[in-house]
Each structure stands twice: as structure tokens, then as C-alpha cells.
Amino acid sequence: MKRGNWCIRKKFRFEAAHVLTNAYSVECKQIHGHSYQLEVFFRSELLNNNSMVYDFKAIKEVVQPLINVWDHSLIIQADTPAHRALKEEGNLITVPFNPTAEEMAKFFYDYIKAQVSSLYKVRVYETETGYAEYWEE
């Protein structure tokens, strides 16, 4: 096996709306949507027997089911006035945190890391030019 430093990335896209609590702007406290991008990074000092860090198809099999649930959803923090008003609506994702890009990055990281140990970091784009990353040392 070759030794070195490898990193691979896979990108996913989904459309979703969210409501932020304690936001700086009035607009962010209202329901609004984004074209999210989720990038997942995997790294390794060794390549596997197939000369890969991790198989891209296997990554998709782990991440895509979650993306399918979050796509075209409303992401909202549990036990907030907005949650109480909207909990009977369609595709509502209830999370125990303020659904900022930062908190979503940690959520996706924890979900994927539990299944793929070589996960290095997660990047969540809320806009084309703005993203949050999460990783652990």
C-alpha cells in the first residue's frame, strides 16, 4: 500500500427552507430558502486495496438517503413558536438546534462519521459564496 496524504471530496445539493432563532436580521427570522450544497471530505494516509481513500458510490449510499429527506423541506428548531405553528405542515425537519449552516455542518458530520470513519470534514454552502465547515482534530 502506498503511504501519503490523500483527500477526496463529494458534493451533494438540496433545496430547503429554514427559520433561524436569534438571527441578526429580520429576514433570517422569517421562513426563507437556500440552494444548499453539502461537501464531504475524506482523508487517509493509506489507499485501500482498490487504490482509493473511499469509494464515491459508497459515499453516495451513505449520504444520499439523508439528502433525500432534507430536500424541499422546512428545517426548524424544535420547541419554538414557529415549530408549534408549523408542525402539522408537509416535509418538516425538526432539529434540536438553531438551523444555521454551522449547526447543520456539525449535524451532517456526526451522521456521516458514525458510518464512515475516514470522514475528515463537512462543508455546508448556504449560498454560492458562503459556507460553514465542521471537523474534529
Residues with catalytic function = 28, 72, 126
Angle formed by the axes of helices 101-113 and 56-70, to 10°?
Answer: 130
Tell how strand 131-135 and strand 119-125 pair up: antiparallel
Spatial CA neighbour of 126 closest among 53, 41, 44, 20: 20
DSSP state of 59: H
Spatial CA neighbour of 108 closest among 77, 65, 69, 63: 63
Sign of the Cα pseudo-torsion (102, 104, 110, 116, in order): negative
